[in-house]
Amino acid sequence: MALHLYDTARRGTRAFVPLIPGEVSMYVCGATVQGLPHVGHLRAGVVFDVLSRWLLESGFKVTLVRNVTDIDDKILARAMEEGRPWWAVAAHYERAFSAAYDALGVLPPTIEPRATGHVTQMVELMQRLIDAGHAYAVDGDVYFDVRSFSEYGALSGQRPDSIEPAADSDFASRKRDPRDFALWKGSKPGEPAWPTPWGAGRPGWHLECSAMATNYLGATFDIHGGGLDLQFPHHENEIAQSHAVGDGFAQYWLHNAWVTQAGEKMSKSLGNTMVVQEVLKRIRGIELRWYLVSAHYRSNIEFSDEALQESGAAFRRIENFVVRATERMGDVDPHATPMCADFALAMDDDLGAPAAVAAIHELVTEGNTLLAQGSAANAATLRGVLASVRRCLGVLGVDPLAEPWATRHSGGDDYREAVDVLVQSELHERQEARSAKDFARADAIRNKLAHAGIAIEDTAEGPRWVLAREAE
RNA sequence: GGUGGAAUGGCCGAGAGGCGAGGCAAGGGACUGCAAAUCCCUCUACACGGGUUCAAAUCCCGUUUCCACCUCCA
């Protein structure tokens, strides 16, 4: 089975056929940099990172554009609050998002364009819309004429009649129809402004995505992704802007579901504290990523510390296998083995992460059994299982021995080696005590190490040690 | 009011007409000097009421509850 994806626009799962064989062009709505990133923001980043990795794994050449909206009403409001320029606010939170993406191992997109860098493209698009009779300028504002575009509402299944007036209803008097939305907002004194043929002003919210997607990916491209909430009005308006001028725009619309908390949507307006940098004090980045990645992207995740810890424990079982098997077999090349068929089948079915995760668990059980048997005869099989597990984990971005995790893990290599020398000598002493049936002494050593946060595992090859924090 | 989702075992969480994913927890067993780690086994569910069918968690009708979007949101 080849890759199938759920296309919001068609309300169904269908085979993914790229415009150009072997190549995929994808645009993902990134952050409006107006606050600290929370777990929900990162879910979108992680979901489309996994899609991108799976496409790469499947042999496609991927061009991924993930924008940064760095000019917006909320950013201006935030700048007032924080008493510093809007561009300082935008830059500050953009760095916070980058750090968070990084902490979760999200691969950098091909390009991360900023809205403010693409005013030229926006002006061009507005001119095309005005020329085509789908937009009009009034007193320095430019609006999209919703009534001129019969397709409006198709993506979100809204009938134009039942759509409530757009947000900027304070401009209602200038609009031909209350549902018309602003492409461009004439600037008020003190606000940032860029020159246009219709006067100085700043971009409306939706325009930048149409302009940037088209600029980098062309008039027609393969996939457009984003959070579920963006379906309306944001993506609806993007479609309007682009289709109205005859651009094909996105062929597949993908939307990821929410991270909710106690049944409530995790929105910044609720002011909750699930910001990524806080959560990362309680759990490692790789475990947080596993938590986000092991759910289906179209299912809600109800965020809780218990669920997070439980998910972390499940991941550690897998991680332990990878580490132990690597200790036994040495490093393996994940791509030296064929892709696990069950995993591939699951991923091809609209990124069925839960079934894919189940396939990994089954591989790990098989691998653990081989590990427990410990005979040299099945070394080749074990090597294959290890490679296969790592190849699957790599698609989800959680192979502990791949970047960025490998480097982070070995960041303390010097210390680890020093500790290892000391612990090995303790373990040696304990083995001697055990041989001499002096179990009191053996247990005392074990307790001493446990007290230091080091857990001993007795394996067929003799004892090994792990930090209790990693094994708990 | 409009649009779209969801209700699964102690918990998390898939599946989508027949053979009851996977994980966590719990109990039992193997291994161990004892543990830990690991493996094996057990517990076995589809909100409610009707209907279709040889067969329904899965399809149809109705009911209840919850959620999201229609306003800024990933």
A443-453 residue pLDDT tens:
999 999 998 88
Assess whether pLDDT exceeds 70 at residue A301.
yes
- Residues A273 and A303: their CA atoms lie apart, in Å, by 12
**Per-residue pLDDT at A281:** 86
Strands A249-256 and A220-227, sheet pairing: parallel
Query: Within 7 A of a protein CB, which nucleotides of strand B?
Result: 1-5, 12-15, 21-25, 32-40, 66-74
Task: Round the average pLDDT of chain A to a whole number and report it.
Answer: 89
Query: What does residue A271 show for φ and ψ, rounded to 5 degrees?
Result: 65, 35
Mention every residue, 6+ apart, whose C-beta is less than 8 A from residue A148.
A133, A134, A244
Alpha helices, DSSP H, located in A104-148:
119-131
Q: Tokens 């991923």 correspond to what residue?
A: A347
Alpha helices, DSSP H, located in A7-70:
39-57
- Residues A298 and A284: their CA atoms lie apart, in Å, by 24
Q: From the Cβ of A230, is strand B under 7 Å away? A: yes
Assess whether pLDDT exceeds 50 at residue A340.
yes
**Helix or strand holding residue A26 (H, E):** strand A23-28
Q: From the Cβ of A362, is strand B under 7 Å away? A: yes
Q: Tokens 């980043």 correspond to what residue?
A: A45
- CA neighbor of A101 nearest in space, from A72, A134, A66: A66
Residue-wise pLDDT tens digits, A2-43 = 899 999 888 888 899 999 999 999 999 999 999 999 888 999
**Per-residue pLDDT at A472:** 35
Assign A409 a pLDDT band (cuts: 50, 70, 90): low
Assess whether pLDDT exceeds 50 at residue A109.
yes
Q: From the Cβ of A40, is strand B under 7 Å away? A: yes
Q: From the Cβ of A313, is strand B under 7 Å away? A: yes
Assign A270 a pLDDT band (cuts: 50, 70, 90): very low
- Residues A412 and A153: their CA atoms lie apart, in Å, by 54
CA quadruple A234, A237, A239, A241: dihedral, nearest 10: -130
CATH code of A4-256, in short, is 3.40.50.620
| Cβ-count burial A269-282 (b if 16+ within 10 Å, e if not) | eeebebbbeebbee
**Per-residue pLDDT at A449:** 92
Residues of chain A with pLDDT > 90: what percent?
64
| CATH-assigned architecture of domain A276-402 | Orthogonal Bundle (1.10)
Query: Is the distance from CB of A268 to CB of A38 less than 8 angstroms?
Result: yes
Strands A259-261 and A301-303, sheet pairing: parallel
Query: Is the distance from CB of A60 to CB of A23 less than 8 angstroms?
Result: yes
Mention every residue, 6+ apart, whose C-beta is less than 8 A from residue A467.
A453, A454, A455
Residue of A284 and A270 predicted with greater confidence: A284
Closest nucleotide C1' to the C-alpha of A270: B73
Q: From the Cβ of A110, is strand B under 7 Å away? A: no
Residue A250, strand partner residues: A221
Q: How far is CA A282 from CA A309, A319, A372, A452, in A?
A: 9, 18, 32, 20
- Record the tokens describing residue A82, joined without a space: 């924080």
Residues forming CATH 1.10.730.10 domain(s) in chain A = 276-402
Q: From the Cβ of A232, is strand B under 7 Å away? A: yes
Give distance CA A302 / C1' B47 (Å). Answer: 20
Query: How many other CB atoms are found less than 10 A from the CB of residue A380?
Result: 10
Give distance CA A235 / C1' B47 (Å). Answer: 35
At A372, which amino acid appears?
Answer: A
Residues forming CATH 3.40.50.620 domain(s) in chain A = 4-256
**Per-residue pLDDT at A202:** 94
Spacing of C-alpha A72 from chain mean position: 23
